[in-house]
A and B are shown apart, each in its own frame.
Chain A
Amino acid sequence: MSNANKPMRSALKNVRGLGAAKEGVQHWWLQRVTAMAMIPLLLVMLVCLLKLATGDHAAVAASFRHPLFALVALLSILAVFWHMKLGLQVVIEDYVHSEGLKMASLLGITFATFILGGIAALSVLKLFFGA
């Protein structure tokens, strides 16, 4: 057994470091990046929304015409829906064990995320441009 201490993995595989899932720590990392982004974004959004909660339509429309508020809203939508997709994916992978249902659920939340996030972002853009 002269090869006993030799690594079984090729050097290239170690360099890539992507593991069996072929995407390395990307899912884990993006969940953290979106989480960190949401801490300031959502605190700002929450204070603004609390202020708008009892206001009329004109006050809401006026807020969204401010570029900074529209930008924070759009970035929040991006971070929230991305984080949501990653989180729901883990929940499905943990609890849905039949292969077909799992694939269908994963496709379902992916499409739902993009459709819902798209609608939310489009609404913000419409308010911003005042169309």
Chain B
Amino acid sequence: MANVERPLSPHLQIYRWPVTMATSILHRATGCGLAAGTVLLTWWLVAAAAGPDYYAMVQACLGSWLGRLVLFGFTWALFYHLLSGIRHLVWDTGRGYSLAVANRASWLVIGGSVVLTVLAWILAYAWK
């Protein structure tokens, strides 16, 4: 029923990318990424509950360069989805829809997520 071949409207690749388009897609993409990341988070919790030996093994995995890279990406996705999510809550009050505000807020969310991610990692290393 839904799979009939219909003419498609022009898709992503044909448009000039306004920043609001990027932030919208990134919100969904980071959401999916974070969902995948809950597996890692649960694994870490299970390791903590299992005891010192298994915890040390999981810590070694997460502490490897690949583990750190994934966790860095996870941190950024979390901050991005958080800031963009707050923006969604503001939209729900009926505010922030003008072009100028939408563009400025988009860059604020992107920039803010990068700044907060770097700050979080500086903090993690400083507490070592």
Contact = CB atoms under 8 A, between A and B. Distances in A.
Tier of interface size on chain B: 20 to 34
A91 B32 contact: yes
Contact of A127 (B3, B34, B48, B82): B48
Contacts of B128: 54
A35 B124 contact: no
A42 B46 contact: no
Q: For chain B, what secondary structure do more than half of its interface residues adopt (helix, strand, loop), or is it mixed?
A: helix
Contacts, number: 75
A64 B48 CA distance: 10
Nearest to B86: A39
Interface string A72-94: 00000000110010011001000
B46 A97 contact: no
Nearest to A35: B85
Nearest to A58: B52
B49 interface: yes
At the interface, is chain A mostly helix, strand, loop or mixed? helix
B38 interface: yes
B82 to A, nearest CB: 7
Contact of B92 (A32, A42, A127): A32
Interface in B6-22: none
Contact of B38 (A39, A81, A122): A81
Interface residues of A, number: 34
B51 A50 contact: no
B63 to A, nearest CB: 8
A56 B85 CA distance: 33
Nearest to B50: A123
18 contacts: A32-B89, A42-B78, A46-B78, A50-B124, A51-B127, A57-B55, A60-B55, A61-B48, A81-B38, A84-B35, A99-B1, A120-B42, A120-B46, A123-B45, A124-B49, A126-B49, A127-B48, A127-B49
